[in-house]
Amino acid sequence: MSIEDSFIRSLGLKFFKGQCPPLLLSYNQDQTIGPRSLAHLIPGDYVNKSYLSQELFDQYYKFSFVRNPWARAVSIYKYFQYHRILTFTDFMRYRFPELWESRYDFVRPQVDFLYNNLGEQVVDFIGKFENLKEDFEIVRKQLAHPVEDLSHINKPPQPHNWYSRWNRRFLFAELKEHPHLLRHINLFSPVQATYNEYYTRKAHELVENYYRKDIEILGYEF
């Protein structure tokens, strides 16, 4: 389900090539004003980087949705397409540490979007992905502008044909940029029905270490 899409449609806007500049959902080449995707601003960025005044930030109704960190890690694995060439455990061991460095704005703990540097909650409502429809209704009731129903735009990946040109191109590009992955390639990792089917003990441990703050503060269990 896409919350962003509901607001965009409600305002008569559209995504164009993954961007919607009026809502700051844009790609960014200037790292001094925020991360590479302005959709990933943390609360302090809105004021510190002059997108909003502190007064206006305080006046707005602010909400966020979080999800189980173990489910989120699997979603990241699929989003970056590594389910095509690595098992989830190998992704967490050999590729995720690099993403943690190069794409921290994308993979950072969720609590970074909810609390300031003093540990104070700066959003008015925290909903949970596991209770998305019901919690989204709580948000809608707080807003003066009507918001469209949720739509399902990010569908789970389908089984892929390794002989297709796209898959071969993806594999070669990854190995060119990250040759250390060659020894870990697995082209036949099945698409599982639920996130917990991807987990080994090692993968569970790694995700727990990376997202300890989310697990403890947001009260999640595997």
Q: Convert the pLDDT of each residue in 91-111 to its tens digit.
A: 999 999 999 999 999 999 999
CA–CA separation, 147 and 140 (whole Å): 7
pLDDT in tens, 150-194: 876 655 555 556 556 667 788 888 888 888 888 888 877 777 889
Look up the domain containing 69 and give its range: 3-218
201 phi, psi to nearest 5 deg: -60, -40
Q: Confidence class of residue 4 from pLDDT cuts 50, 70 and 90?
A: confident
What pLDDT is recorded for position 159? 57
Region 143-147 average pLDDT:
86
Residue 18: per-residue pLDDT: 79
Instruction: Provide DSSP, 136-170.
Output: HHHHHTT-SS--PPPB--SPPPPP--TTSHHHHHH
Q: Which of 110, 88, 112, 75 is nearest to 1 (CA)?
A: 75
Task: Decide: 165 and 13 in contact? Cβ < 8 Å.
Answer: no
| Total number of domains in the chain | 1
Decide: pTM greater than 0.85: yes
pLDDT of 15:
85
Give me the phi and psi of 127, to 5 degrees please: -95, 165
Q: Which of 69, 71, 43, 63 is nearest to 136 (CA)?
A: 63
pLDDT given at position 185: 86
pLDDT score at 190:
76
